[in-house]
Amino acid sequence: MKVTVVILAGGLGTRMKSNTPKLLHNLLGKTIIERTIDSVLSINPSKTIVVVNKESKNLIDLLSKYNLSFAFQEKPLGTADALMSAKEQIKDDDLLLLLNGDTPLIKPQTIEDFINNFHSQGCNLSLLSFIASDPSEYGRIIRDETNKVTAIVENKDCNEKEKQIREVNSGIYLMDQKAFSLANKIKINTKKGEYYITDLISLCVKEGLKVSTLLAKGSNELSGINTRNELANATTILRQRVIKNFIDSGVTFIDTSSVVIEPEVKMGIDIIIYPNVIIEGKSVIGSSTKIYPHTRIMDSVIEEGVTIKDCSVIEMSHIKAGASIGPFAHLRPQSIIGENSKIGNFVEIKKSNLGKSVKASHLSYIGDADVGEGTNIGAGTITCNYDGKSKHKTIIEKNVFVGSDTQFVAPVRIGENSYIGAGSTITKDVPPNSLAISRTNQKNILEWAKKKKDKNY
């Protein structure tokens, strides 16, 4: 049977104490709402409706890349009111999967199990429950003496006995049209001035509909995020989940507690990751690569057998097989480092394409440059790529030897197999196979130091 999904994202999220709407907070590289949507879309719903409020422009813009419909809730009058604002858009013949936007850790497999369980139970309404170590933020599942669920009671409305119950509501429900048709009978909760979707359970029970629950195995994936503390906990859970998956698929971590790897990262096998490494975005790490401590890699492709030494920052770049980077290197966006090249201490590269076996081992800035295969860039080389208005290119062809402390005033082209004398400022193109040198001849003034001393300068 087809499923229409409704995701509630119209709440105010005041418990976050933030100027940013709750669902737009970041959870390991994507917003909370995107992570929830990613999980739900994996079941291929026939339609996905997100309930938003009037202030949700940023959220709608962010979600425009998905194939979603939006429903507008006029006022934040509670979860039942939020669902009712999507009523017109819900497909008549579909099952309805309803969930909170703030439950981003749910796994696609759990949603599938929940749907299968609904069908095998042959019920009208089902809810996914879990055992919470601290149930205080959740609605409690109330059961009768035969263990049948009869109601959900919100924390604020619980008596002392109900407060002890640790089986709680995840905020994820499946219902048929019969159960859904009772939602408009939900009355306002006078304590909070809101319409609670949780009241649908007792309404359905009273009307003689079949209500069931599925108790999820772990509690981790169903925790909701209402506070910064819960966001921090969810980040830890997701972080550990990602690392565990990589351990299972052949990656070694020296210290799992300090490494952050975002879920969209892909990795090969036999990779070794040292403490305090951060890998973000859609980065891809090739097999047998070593990443030493305190390195951050963003949206980059690192091929096989690369060594990244301590304290390097790599942004939107591509490092080819066998290269060595760092320590203390900075690869800025659009840098391509050729096979077996070596980028050493305190070298910054920006928007440059380096061929195979290029060496820039110390203290250099290479920006807007093409560097050919086998070229050696001496210590302290700088491409002067910016004239105050525009950027210009430096082209250094293959097998060039650039002496230390050279400046290339771009635009400039250095022909293959050339040599640049150390300390040169290169302002003109250099033909292939040449030596370019542009420094004044050295003058030695004999006995100068002695005279200085005698005259007591």
Residue 161, φ and ψ in degrees, nearest 5: -65, -45
3-state secondary structure 303-343: CCCCEECCCCEEECCEECCCCEECCCCEECCCCEECCCCEE
Length of the chain in terms of residues written:
457
- Residue 165 CB, shortest distance to ligand UD1, in Å, is 12
Q: What is the DSSP letter of 240?
A: H
The token duo for 139 is: 């609605």
Is there a contact between 185 and 207 (Cβ–Cβ < 8 Å)? Answer: no
**Shortest CB 171 distance to Ca ion, Å:** 6
Shortest spacing between CB 189 and Ca ion, in angstroms: 16
Q: How many residues bind ligand UD1 (CB under 6 A)?
A: 29
Residue 149 interacting with ligand UD1 (CB under 6 A): no
> Of these, 16, 37, 51, 63, which contacts ligand UD1 (CB under 6 A)?
51
Cα–Cα dist 40/277, whole Å = 30
Letters for 108-147 (x = contact with ligand UD1 by CB under 6 A, - = none) are: ------------------------------xx--------
**Known catalytic membership, residue 119:** no
Residue nearest to ligand UD1 (CB): 139
Q: Site residues for ligand UD1, window 181-240 (CB under 6 A)? A: 196-198, 224, 226
The reply to whether 100 sits near ligand UD1 by the rule CB under 6 A is: yes
In whole angstroms, what is the distance from residue 380 CA to residue 250 CA?
A: 39
The answer to whether the beta carbons of residues 173 and 214 sit under 8 Å apart is no
**Cα 308 to Cα 330: distance, rounded to the nearest angstrom:** 11
CB of 33 to ligand UD1, least distance (A): 8
Task: With contacts defined by CB under 6 A, name the span among 162-170, 203-211, 286-294, 364-372 that binds ligand UD1.
Answer: 162-170
- State yes or no: residue 39 binds ligand UD1 (CB under 6 A): no
Give contact residues for Ca ion (rule: CB under 5 A).
102, 224, 226
To ligand UD1, the closest distance from the beta carbon of 67 in angstroms equals 20
Q: Where are the beta strands (DSSP E) in 161-304?
A: 167-175, 188-189, 194-195, 211-215, 251-253, 260-261, 266-267, 271-273, 278-280, 284-285, 290-291, 296-298, 301-302
169 is a site residue for ligand UD1 (CB under 6 A)? yes
Nearer to ligand UD1, 191 or 453 (CB): 191
Only one residue has tokens 């019969």, namely: 178
Binding site for ligand UD1 (CB under 6 A): 8-11, 51, 73, 76-79, 81-82, 100-103, 138-139, 152, 154, 168-171, 196-198, 224, 226
**Catalytic residues, which ones?**
362
